C-alpha cells in the first residue's frame, strides 16, 4: 500500500511567491469601478484655463516620469528579482521602486483629469493595493533571502522613498529580456495620456452629463 509522503509543517507554512496576475486583476477591477467617476465628472477648474492646463501638463510629466522610473528600476533588478538583494540605484531609496513609479503614473493620470479629488483617490487606492501586495512579496523574500533581506528592509523604506539613502555602483548589468518585458507596462501607462484627452473631448462636446468636482 502506498503511503503518501508527509510534508514537514515548516515547509507547508513557508510563504509562496506572490501571484502577480492577481494584483493586475485587482487593479483592472478598480479601474473599471472608477470609470463612472472619470466619465461623469468634470474639473471645477475647467473655466480657469491656465490653471487647468498647468494641472494637466504637470500630470503628463508625472506619467512620463513614472514610465522612465519603471525602466530605471528594471535596469537594476533585471533577472535578479527574488534571487538576491538588490540595494543600489532606485532600490537604495525604497524596496519597491516599480510600485513607487506606478503610483506616480496613476497620480499623473488623476492630474490630467483636472481633479485634485480624483488624483488623491486614484493614487491612494493604487498605493493601498500595492502596499498589500508588497507586504505579501516581502513575506516570501524574508523566507527565501533570510537575514540579508531583513537587514535591507530595516534600513530602506517599503514604497515611499528615502532620497538621502541613494547609492549606486559605477556599472549596471542590464537584462534586455526583462527590459523588453517592461515595454508593455510602459504602453499601459502612456495610454493614460490619450484616454484623458478623449475624456476631455467627450465632456467638452456635451456627449454626457457631468457634475463639477475639485
Reported as a single tens digit per residue, the pLDDT across 145-198 is 999 999 999 999 999 999 999 999 888 887 777 777 777 888 889 999 999 999
Of the candidate ranges 16-30, 78-92, 126-140, 164-178, the one whose mean pLDDT is the lowest = 16-30
Answer whether residue 150 is part of any domain. yes
**Is the CB of residue 38 less than 8 Å from the CB of residue 192?**
no
Domains of the chain: total: 1
Answer whether residue 39 is part of any domain. no
Cβ count near 110 (within 10 Å): 26
pLDDT the model gives residue 14: 57
Distance CA 144, CA 67 (A): 29
pLDDT over 90 for what percent of the chain? 56
Answer whether residue 38 is part of any domain. no
C-alpha torsion 118→33→21→75, nearest 10: -20
State pTM to two decimals.
0.87
List pLDDT tens digits, range 88-135. Answer: 999 999 999 999 999 999 999 999 999 999 999 999 999 999 999 999
pLDDT the model gives residue 20: 73
CA 107 to chain centre: 10
Averaged pLDDT of the chain: 87
Distance CA 203, CA 109 (A): 16
Answer whether residue 30 is part of any domain. no
**92 secondary structure, DSSP code:** G
Answer whether residue 94 is part of any domain. yes
**Is the CB of residue 159 less than 8 Å from the CB of residue 131?**
yes
Half-sphere exposure of 12 (CA within 13 A, CB side): 5
pLDDT the model gives residue 178: 76
pLDDT the model gives residue 176: 79
Structural domain boundaries enclosing 179: 57-205
Q: Determine which helix (DSSP H) or strand (DSSP E) holds 153, and give its type and residue range.
A: helix 147-155
Given a cut of 50, whether residue 12 has pLDDT beyond it is: no
Answer whether residue 15 is part of any domain. no
**213 secondary structure, DSSP code:** E
Task: Single out the residue of 150, 136, 143 nearest to residue 18, CA to CA.
Answer: 136
Cell numbers 465632456: residue: 203
Answer whether residue 32 is part of any domain. no
Q: Determine which helix (DSSP H) or strand (DSSP E) holds 211, and give its type and residue range.
A: strand 211-213
Answer whether residue 119 is part of any domain. yes
Given a cut of 50, whether residue 7 has pLDDT beyond it is: no
**123 secondary structure, DSSP code:** H
Amino acid at each position: 500500500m502506498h503511503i503518501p509522503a508527509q510534508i514537514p509543517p515548516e515547509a507547508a507554512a513557508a510563504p509562496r511567491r506572490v501571484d502577480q496576475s492577481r494584483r493586475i486583476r485587482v487593479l483592472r477591477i478598480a479601474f473599471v469601478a472608477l470609470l463612472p467617476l472619470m466619465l461623469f465628472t468634470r474639473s471645477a477648474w475647467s473655466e480657469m484655463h491656465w490653471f487647468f492646463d498647468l494641472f494637466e501638463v504637470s500630470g503628463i510629466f508625472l506619467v512620463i516620469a513614472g514610465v522612465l522610473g519603471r525602466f530605471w528600476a528594471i535596469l537594476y533588478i533585471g533577472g535578479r528579482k527574488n534571487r538576491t538583494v538588490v540595494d543600489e540605484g532606485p532600490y537604495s531609496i525604497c524596496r519597491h521602486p516599480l510600485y513607487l513609479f506606478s503610483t506616480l503614473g496613476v497620480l499623473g493620470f488623476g492630474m490630467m483629469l483636472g481633479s485634485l479629488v480624483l488624483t488623491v483617490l486614484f493614487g491612494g487606492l493604487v498605493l493601498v493595493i500595492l502596499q498589500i501586495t508588497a507586504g505579501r512579496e516581502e513575506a516570501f523574500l524574508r523566507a527565501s533571502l533570510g537575514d540579508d533581506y531583513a537587514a535591507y528592509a530595516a534600513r530602506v523604506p517599503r514604497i515611499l522613498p528615502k532620497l538621502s539613502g541613494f547609492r549606486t555602483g559605477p556599472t549596471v548589468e542590464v537584462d534586455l529580456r526583462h527590459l523588453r518585458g517592461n515595454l508593455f507596462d510602459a504602453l499601459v501607462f502612456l495610454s493614460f495620456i490619450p484616454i484623458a484627452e478623449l475624456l476631455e473631448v467627450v465632456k467638452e462636446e456635451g456627449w454626457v452629463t457631468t457634475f463639477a468636482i475639485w
